[in-house]
Structure 1
């Protein structure tokens, strides 16, 4: 005889709590700078998203840590496409640890797109603070630290780099930059031309490593040093902010216009760019440029 009683249906369980994206700073040189929390997350995270998986393995071997989770490559070439898969891991209630080769993810390193996507999706994001080349260089530079800016790597092309340096001409804050060792002399020489030879600067090399070196002086002095030296290793540059001074006249800026022209701009384009950067009238600067060319 059929049972006419209603069939009991199990009530749906509560939705799984989301996991977490953890961005963690790794040593910039000395492995002993690895924090206890970094060690914990390396050993326990469900997924470790690393900028370079080989460097990750080298670090964990040095630290004596065995990674229990899945290791995936997460770098500038796959960061956008890989973020969705990593967020699915977090939605399923598991943890994703993001590490780069050195320092804090998202700061001139992969991780920003994933963190931004997680924040937009309302998923938890946590941080394991630690080593930072930016803050380490700033701390030992001897330059003001109360207000500072970080500009990463300046453009490689001379014209684009010149425009970036022009923007720093009146920047009052200390500025921290990264630079490749083989471009350091060229960059410092260009900076001395645009910002003036007496602007103070510190060049920090191989911070926390065996051959750590900090050179302090003017742009002219360190440009000369870099031209004559064999500079190797990771380079962080700390540049003094601009000091208030008398306004520059159009006649003062004729040489700056000539530099922009040498970088490939037409005269009118160069004049417009320099006039806007220095707050002078475009017509007055153009007249000064033409007058300087008259015999």
Structure 2
């Protein structure tokens, strides 16, 4: 980040630093949780298939889980795994008291329905927050487990805005993984929220009205500099690997970063922005799930 002039570098939202601080705090809280006589929080991650990028991502999750003082349970299943076999494994993980959080890495092979699988995870162990129960809780404004990436985006926004009341937030992308839960989180912050999707007629005009712009489409470079309202806060969730003239590859986001940086008030880089927050929030959710389980064992309300 030091390669930018000071007036531009000061606009960057340091996702790596914020994620590191969050992970350190979670580690301290895990130690305190265990010292109080509670079980070591456990996270089970299930990967179906042998996608190299997913394998690296899953292994990184395991490393971060151990660093935070939690237990990691890895389940690597072949590409040919049947849906019934995966559901049987999830039933076992649901019943295992050593496991407080369960995450099934997406995408899944075509023979497996991700909706069925997600809803097979016990709601209090659904650390990805994608099941119907937790999605419904978020929609109703009830406490529950929130999807990790939108939660991380919210924390990044809170590092810039102590109060978002009345701000116009525009979310480009309406997926159940990011866009929809992000809109719900922003509504909870008292923002006026607009969601753009593939059928939105003039996304550029809508984006230019945004005080807060969150982009999650998977289309690199979609949002140009002239889409951004001067001084707006921009959260770029996208991450795509593209070739370079030197024959290598580099990671880029959904926002044309070099164009957006001089115009935005604050912006997340890619990489180093939202990505590190996703794993940090997974650890946050696992600890939260462990606390809920402890509360259940004492007869406390959820």
Task: Point out which structure has higher relative CO (alpha carbons under 8 A, 6+ apart).
Answer: 2
Scaled by the length of structure 1, the TM-score of the pair is: 0.36
Larger Rg: 1
